Amino acid sequence: MIIPLAHRADQTQEYYFSVKLAEVRRLQAAGHDIINLGIGNPDLMPSANTIGALIQSAQQPTAHGYQPYKGTVGLRQGIASFYKTTYGVDLNSETEILPLIGSKEGITHISLTFLNENDGVLVPELGYPAYRAVSQMVGAQVSEYPLLEQGGWQPDWEAMTDRVNASPEGSPTKILWLNYPHMPTGAPATYALFEKAVRFAHDHQILICHDNPYSLILNKKKPISLLAVDGAKEVGIELNSLSKSHNMAGWRIGWLASSKPYVDAVLTIKSNVDSGQFKPLMDAAAEALTNSEAWHEERNAVYQGRLDAVHAFLDALGCTYTTDQEGLFIWAKLPDHVESAEAFVDDLLLNKHIFIAPGFIFGPKGNRYVRVSLCMPKERIRTGIERILG
């Protein structure tokens, strides 16, 4: 006998990469050399001082017990200092920061905190699948807002206005998910964009949840935060993470930042779900946040070399792309003669043993696109080019 599943389990599909990476592993087990350009799993090391801080902390007898639900004072202070130095944003480390087990956890906690069943959620028509999946799991009504391809993948604010409070059940629109630099398109963040978002949220009494993990990667200008805009803390929460910017994806260290009422509300939910993080991880994260500008420049120099190789890879596939993209991925349009992104990606995997992500997993508008990760040495990317041309 199998106990019936909850409705949310029936309605939720397994994460695409969970399924596809199982196929990749089967091919590898059969002896095939797979070049995986599909996922954003950084292959570079954290800084040496980060590793050193982890080891030193783990050797302390008092480091292995439960920790505060809101993280250590040192980590919160490190995040506050990082935000001041990096974004010019002042945060109160005691009341305006909540460490998380990665920002993906934050998406769930925010949704559980603010969404009732049938409340409206605005998600970009191309975006991180978790925004939609988690909203649906908590019973919210998801509405996609358009991104203007010819306008640099910026939100269509006029169309978004029409979607506010458009739920068939008449429930209010509560949350707007925003993510710039944008994944998957690589569209840069701009201060003007964030100003429009904050004004929109005030006008419509909506909570903006901005996901900001890519601002330090291949960014050609000073990184910016939504919270730098006047009035943002009144209507906004920003998620951030060390996964991509500090090569610490498996460490699961992230946080949210906002005004005290929002932080306290999310903490109420979070404190019932987990029991805090491992202190040595938090101590090491605080150290990572002090990484020098030179360290970040060195990481970006590696990614720049890979970016050049990925452009050549996409040229070999006949894809087109823009060169102003930021972040850890390149978004590219398929040649006109290709009928199916899914078939194209599957053929590349099975016959050339190269895995890239089809754009449709980020939303239907991605049907004519693919996304390529920079988390692979440039030499391996060049091997992929040889397989395509050979």
Radius of gyration of the chain (CA): 21
Confidence band, pLDDT 50/70/90 cuts, at residue 341:
confident
Confidence check: pLDDT of 206 > 80: yes
- 279-288 and 73-87 helices, crossing angle to 10°: 20
Q: What is the mean pLDDT of residues 89-118?
A: 96
Helix (H) or strand (E) holding 307: helix 293-317
Residue 291: φ, ψ to 5°: -50, 140
Q: What is the mean pLDDT of residues 304-318?
A: 97
Q: What is the DSSP string of 319-342?
A: -B--S---SSEEEEEPPTT---HH
Three-state DSSP class for residue 70: coil
- Classify domain 7-45+293-389 by CATH number: 3.90.1150.10
pLDDT of residue 110: 97
Pairing mode, strands 120-124 and 141-145: parallel
Confidence band, pLDDT 50/70/90 cuts, at residue 21:
confident
- Mind listing the pLDDT tens digit for each residue in 351-381? 999 999 999 999 988 989 999 999 999 999 9
Confidence check: pLDDT of 31 > 70: yes
**Closest Cα to residue 188, out of 136, 146, 223?**
223
Confidence check: pLDDT of 314 > 80: yes
- Mind listing the pLDDT tens digit for each residue in 249-303? 999 999 999 999 999 999 999 999 998 899 999 999 999 999 999 999 999 999 9
Q: What is the mean pLDDT of residues 196-216?
A: 97
Task: Decide: 131 and 123 in contact? Cβ < 8 Å.
Answer: yes
* Alpha-carbon span 335 to 317, nearest angstrom: 8
Three-state helix/strand/coil letters over 144-205: EECEEHHHCCEECHHHHHHHCCCCCCCCCEEEEEECCCCCCCCCCCCHHHHHHHHHHHHHHC
What does the buried/exposed string (b/e) look like for 97-129 if buried means 16 or more CB atoms within 10 Å of the residue's CB? bbbbbbbbbbbbbbbbbbbeeebbbbbbbbbbe
Confidence band, pLDDT 50/70/90 cuts, at residue 167:
low
Q: What is the mean pLDDT of residues 186-193?
A: 96
pLDDT of residue 132: 93
Parse the chain into domains and list their residue ranges: 7-45+293-389, 65-288
Tell me if the domain spanning 65-288 has CATH number 3.40.640.10.
yes
> How many other C-beta atoms lie within 10 A of the C-beta of residue 11?
12
- How many CA atoms are closer than 13 Å to the CA of 283, on its beta-carbon side? 17
Which one is predicted more confidently, 390 or 142?
142
| Same fold yes or no, 7-45+293-389 and 65-288 | no
pTM of the predicted structure, to 2 decimals:
0.94
Share of the chain above pLDDT 70, in %: 97
Task: Decide: 312 and 385 in contact? Cβ < 8 Å.
Answer: yes
Task: Decide: 213 and 245 in contact? Cβ < 8 Å.
Answer: yes
Confidence band, pLDDT 50/70/90 cuts, at residue 19:
confident
Confidence band, pLDDT 50/70/90 cuts, at residue 1:
low
Name the one residue in this structure whose structure tokens are 């305006």: 96
pLDDT of residue 8: 75
Within the chain, strands assigned E span 35-36, 97-100, 120-124, 141-145, 147-148, 154-155, 173-178, 207-211, 236-241, 254-257, 329-333, 354-355, 357-358, 369-373
Confidence band, pLDDT 50/70/90 cuts, at residue 10:
low
Average pLDDT, the chain: 93
Max distance between CA atoms of the chain, in angstroms, equals: 63
First-last CA distance in the chain? 53
Sheet with 329-333: list strands edge to edge.
329-333, 369-373, 357-358
